[in-house]
Amino acid sequence: MAANETVIDTIPYFPTGNNNDDDDDDDEKNKKNQDEPPPSPQIPVTILTGFLGCGKTTLLNHILRDPTHGRKFAVIENEFGEVGVDEELISGGAENVIDEELIEVLNGCICCTVRGDLIKALKNLYTTKKGRFDSVIIETTGLADPAPVCQTFFMDDEIQNMYKLDCVVTVVDAVNILERIREVKPEGVENEAVEQVCFSDKILLNKIDLVPKDEHFDASLEEIETELRALNPTASIQRTSYAKIDPGDILDVQAFELQRVLDFDPEFLDEDQEHEHDATVSSVAVKVEGEVNINLLQSWMRRLVVEDGANLYRYKGVIAVKDISKKFVFQGVGMAFLGEFDDNFHWKENEVRESRFVFIGKHLNHNFYREGFMKCIVPKEGSIVLRFPVGTVVEANVGVYQSGTVLKQWDEDNAYLIEIEGPPKTNVWAPIDHDAYIRAITSCSENEK
């Protein structure tokens, strides 16, 4: 891109500098990094969530009592009320419990009144107890919305340097979960059970031994799993009794590592399936061959995260960007967006360049997500006839419409390269052939001249 060339109506949203042409810069960066001390490893954090009575504390006890993992844990226990009781329940009297630091966070949910206390507790743990524990487990109250708890690990710079969110585990009661997620809440009140399922990386379908096997119970385990997958098509589901699992199934699984995003496939999402519990909550999944225009992708993602962030529970995707050999891999929680081009995520020589993503949230405009993304796809050469031939005098939107001349069509995957008359003269791109970016000279503008 020349110094005097800009893209119309785009804001850089994620780095694009890791292209093949930047190897020299990467080498220089690596030399600098060799002179710097290696960063201190981040401590993994597992969040246990789930509705009241689902078996979270039982699961936590199993983890703490298990002699096989050889880990030390710092446990942050959230209670709703003035007096904490779970400290007595957790590992009480167990001689073989791994040494853990227990912090109780009282007077409300982690996600609301005591979120500040959670940050303080995490920072205090790191500065005063570092080296005495290997992992952190946060057990939330059954009334907690997991979103702010998750976002804590992306919104605070100090916390980001100290910890990394490893996995969100949601425990659900197989007997009662359908009733919970189908419950109609008053307007403006969130269904906590739905949100807990939507935010999870792993769902433990607990108490399966208590599910009746007669015609009076309205759902089989398979039907329950189908409803859970309708809410969260990317989470794995594991059946349990008494919350007994191998701790390795939920510890150090690196669910928030971008490499994990490459493993998901949105095709198993049944678009025709409707779930009755909450019409506002849905999943949007897309898998499409082709490469995208990076400028349009930036605008599309900016719109999603900035305007829909409050309604987004979880999202992840892999994008093929035109002329970039590395995959753009992203995921996020609400407005906490993680994404990058990385040397570990190269498109192979014979690999089909395709994009795939899934967004889970409420009040999602499915047409915008699908159609908006499809507009980012770079058309095949000759498949679209542009309105303005080279040499045509047009108006380009550079904040206001200014006169200019079309210099090229399909320049660096943008529909037009336009020279603005100025002063000063400058070149801009119109990423697509639309009046929002480029239009014919109007009679009004001719009169203004």
Task: State the CATH number of the domain containing residue 285.
Answer: 3.30.1220.10
Instruction: Output the DSSP codes for 103-121.
Output: EEE-SS-TTTTTHHHHHHH
On whether residue 148 sits in a domain, the answer given is yes
Q: Is 0.85 surpassed by the pTM of this model?
A: no
Helical spans, DSSP H, in 214-284: 221-231, 258-261
On whether residue 15 sits in a domain, the answer given is no
- Same domain for 234 and 103? yes
- Same domain for 124 and 269? no
- Same domain for 115 and 247? yes
On whether residue 415 sits in a domain, the answer given is yes
- Per-residue confidence (pLDDT) for residue 118, from 0 to 100: 83
210 pLDDT higher than 60: yes
Q: Which of 376, 405, 427 is the C-terminal boundary of a domain? A: 376
- Same domain for 181 and 156? yes
Band of pLDDT at residue 16, cut at 50, 70 and 90: very low
Band of pLDDT at residue 349, cut at 50, 70 and 90: confident
Residue 322 phi/psi, 5-degree rounding, is: -55, 130
Q: Which contiguous run of DSSP H or E holds residue 23?
A: helix 23-35
Domain count, the chain: 3
Tokens of 5: 């060339």
Query: Average pLDDT in the 264-283 region?
Result: 53
- Same domain for 330 and 412? no
On whether residue 222 sits in a domain, the answer given is yes
Instruction: Output the DSSP codes for 298-325.
Output: HHHHHHHHHHHGGGEEEEEEEE-BTT--
- Same domain for 114 and 248? yes
- Same domain for 233 and 277? no
Give the Å distances, CA to CA, from 221 to 2, 169, 210, 240, 241.
60, 19, 11, 11, 13
> Of the segments 74-88, 117-131, 159-173, 360-374, which one has the largest average pLDDT value?
159-173
How would you label 321-336 residue by residue, b for 16+ Cβ within 10 Å and e otherwise? bbebbbbbbbbbbbbb
User: Can you point out the beta strands (E) in 57-192?
Assistant: 73-78, 100-105, 135-139, 163-173
Number of C-alpha atoms within 13 angstroms, CB side, residue 282?
15
Three-state secondary structure call for residue 199: coil
On whether residue 24 sits in a domain, the answer given is no
- Same domain for 207 and 75? yes
On whether residue 177 sits in a domain, the answer given is yes
Q: Which of 233, 256, 279 is the C-terminal boundary of a domain? A: 256
CATH number of the structural domain spanning residue 229:
3.40.50.300
- Per-residue confidence (pLDDT) for residue 216, from 0 to 100: 56
Spatial separation of the C-alpha atoms in residues 438 and 18, rounded to whole Å:
30
- Same domain for 156 and 218? yes
The amino acid that residue 427 corresponds to is N
Mean pLDDT over the full length of the chain: 77
Q: Which of 351, 376, 401 is the C-terminal boundary of a domain? A: 376
What range does the domain containing 351 cover?
261-376
On whether residue 183 sits in a domain, the answer given is yes
- Same domain for 115 and 198? yes
- Per-residue confidence (pLDDT) for residue 244, from 0 to 100: 93
Q: For the chain, give the percent of residues with pLDDT over 90.
A: 20
pLDDT tens digit sequence for 360-407: 888 888 888 888 888 888 877 655 678 899 999 999 999 899 999 999
129: left (phi over 0), alpha (psi -120 to 50) or beta: alpha
- Same domain for 107 and 128? yes
Query: Average pLDDT in the 221-247 region?
Result: 91
- Same domain for 365 and 270? yes
**Burial of 301 per CB tally in 10 Å (0-12, 13-18, 19+):** buried
Question: Which carries the bigger pLDDT value, residue 264 or residue 273?
Answer: 264
- Per-residue confidence (pLDDT) for residue 124, from 0 to 100: 86
